[in-house]
Amino acid sequence: MRYSTLNCIIPVPHSVKENGEKLSFHSLESIYSSSDSASGAMEKLFSFFAFTGKTLSASDCRKDFQILFAHDSALGKEEWKIEVDSRNIRITSGGKAGFSYAAEAVIQMGFAALREGPSTAYFDGGEISDSPRFAYRGFMLDPSRHFQDTSTVKKAIELLAAFRINTLHWHLADNQSYRMPSGNVPGIVGKGTLTDGAYSREDIKEIVAFAAKNNITIIPELDVPGHSRMILSANRDLACDKENPGSEYCLGNPESKVFIQKLLDEVMELFPDSPVIHVGGDEADTSAWEKCPRCLAAMKEKGFKNMRELENDFMTGITRYIVSKNRTPMMWGTCSGQIYPADTIMQAWLDIREPLRIAPNKNKVVYSVHTSLYFDYPANQSEPLESWMFELTEKGVYMTDPYILWENILSDTILGPEACLWTETIPQWRLIPKLLPRLSAYSECAWSRNERKDYYDFARRKEYLEAAGYYEFLRK
């Protein structure tokens, strides 16, 4: 059975209207743009048509049997429209990202048109109008456990862009390694407990530029005050116990904050265009603090009742430093229930009710609850898994809604979702196979409106595109 090419797009668009016309795939001859913002989108289409064995030329004028790009100031930067008639495919948007997303939709339509062979391939006529449900659509990549080289990161970025994900949260430091160039921790950069490897300044510059080309903003993460075993192994004076430095900075040592600020200065220099800087903030163990004379003295001096209050004070100071540098701080939602200044973005990961707890304080929230959006969880039970994990199927990802049951309460709180891929058991060569199968389901959670979502229709669209070779195109 042949489905309309207008109804084979992932993530599903906001509005689709058919007009009954047909445009022969092989009648298309050229691409024309009246907008400089469409250059990246044109590159995508040239690549697609070359993949299918067809060559289109770039035209400097409008003709029949052509793909046309035109700017429309009435549309938002991520908003786009495609109109197909018997002679042209016309693409309009208010910005570079919208043009790119429309081009990805045309590529999917093209594969659907080619499913039964090139000789009779055609695009169905009609109009598609689309815009995102959430402005923030994130994916977290973790090279701190198993390192991914520059080419692999760029491949992941291409896949994210194909499904309209616009934010890469890059978890660059943890207990297992420190992956950024640094003059403050030179002895440990690139050393890892699972794999070695680090990004040079040139690598980071290349990846940042590639992400920007693909309409993706990078959020770098320096995880403190816990998750810092590798750093503290080389800077034992910053730990509570020099003989057994553990994973937590000493909160009672003033040099801890000074040192973290130096690291943050390096991070912000490496990522000058990243508006948000993530500083971790979760899962710190209090046991070393509770035995540390300096931490106990600091807690008493400040009049705090417990170490969580001292931790909150310490991390609030870190967020104020980031704000002083004209960046926005971001933290993982804390297991201890502490509240941070309202200008700090909180990333909810532990429980679906966490946004409800945070909302009264006016913090913005990124939704990453592990039971729905941790891609390290197995898609089936044959994959490696930890004792706390259960099977997270494609359908489980698809059914995620960051608002849960409380859209009326959280509509001003939730920025959007973020899927996360931790790599304790995922070496580089498993990254793309782990990411791709559930990414398309996640994209519909992040982009499409609830009233347009239907899992069985999604499964039909995905199966159709798989049969047509689209996912093979993505892999290559």
SS (H, E, C) 148-187: CCHHHHHHHHHHHHHCCCCEEEEECEECCEECCCCCCCCC
Q: How many CB atoms lie within 10 A of CB 474?
A: 18
Distances (CA, A) of 111 to 88, 123, 458: 17, 10, 16
Residues in the chain: 476
| pLDDT at residue 299, as a whole number | 98
Number of helices and strands (H, E) in the chain? 16, 17
Residue with tokens 């906001």: 14
Domains of the chain: 5-131 (3.30.379.10), 138-451 (3.20.20.80)
Phi, psi of 228 (to 5 degrees): -130, 25
Amino acid 1: pLDDT: 76
Collect all residues with Cβ–Cβ distance below 8 Å to 301 and sequence separation of at least 6.
none
Q: What is the token pair recorded at 41? A: 């989108």
Alpha helices in 13-123 (DSSP H): 39-51, 96-114
Give the chain's radius of gyration (CA, Å).
24
Q: What is the pLDDT of residue 458?
A: 98
What pLDDT score was predicted for residue 388? 83
Contact 83, 105 (CB under 8 A): no
∠ CA(40), CA(44), CA(49), 5° rounding?
A: 145
Give all strands of the β-sheet with 57-59 in edge-to-edge order. 15-24, 122-130, 80-84, 88-93, 66-71, 30-33, 57-59
Cβ partners under 8 Å of residue 173, min gap 6: 144, 179, 180, 221, 222, 223, 227, 228, 230, 231
* pTM metric for this prediction: 0.97
pLDDT of residue 46: 96
Number of Cβ atoms within 10 Å of the Cβ of 302 = 10
CA-CA distance, 330 to 346, in Å (whole number)? 6
Q: What is the pLDDT along the chain (476 residues), one digit of tens a residue?
A: 789 999 999 999 999 999 999 999 999 999 999 999 999 999 999 999 999 999 999 998 888 889 999 999 999 999 999 999 999 999 999 999 999 999 999 999 999 999 988 889 999 999 999 999 999 999 999 999 999 999 999 999 999 999 999 999 999 999 999 999 999 998 999 999 999 999 999 999 999 999 999 999 999 999 999 999 999 999 999 999 999 999 999 999 999 999 999 999 999 999 999 999 999 999 999 999 999 999 999 999 999 999 999 999 999 999 999 999 999 999 999 777 889 999 999 999 999 999 999 999 999 999 999 999 999 999 988 888 888 888 999 999 999 999 999 999 999 999 999 999 999 999 999 999 999 999 999 999 999 999 999 999 999 999 999 999 999 999 98
Extract long-range pairs of 299-307: CB within 8 Å, 24+ residues apart.
299/252, 307/251
Which amino acid, one-letter code, is at 94?
G
Taking alpha carbons only, the member of 384, 456, 443, 351 closest to residue 108 is 443
Distance (Å) of CA 92 to CA 17, 89, 95, 213: 16, 10, 9, 19
Which burial class, exposed, middle or buried, applies to 185 when counting CB atoms under 10 A from its CB (0-12, 13-18, 19+)? buried
Could you give the angle at the alpha carbon of 414 between the alpha carbons of 102 and 105, nearest 5°? 10
Q: CA-to-CA distance for 238 and 209, rounded, in angstroms?
A: 35
- DSSP state string for 254-274: HHHHHHHHHHHHHHHHH-TT-
Beta bridge partners of 167: 138, 217
| 433 burial level (CB within 10 Å; 0-12, 13-18, 19+) | exposed
347 three-class SS: strand
Is residue 166 within 8 A of residue 211, CB to CB? The reply is: no
Pick left, alpha or beta for residue 332 (phi over 0 → left; psi -120 to 50 → alpha; otherwise beta). beta
Q: Is 116 left (phi over 0), alpha (psi -120 to 50) or beta?
A: alpha
Both tokens of 44, joined, read: 């995508």
Q: For residues 170 and 191, give the distance between their C-alpha atoms in angstroms, rounded to a whole number.
A: 18
Given a contact cutoff of 8 angstroms between Cβ atoms, the answer to whether 78 and 136 are in contact is no
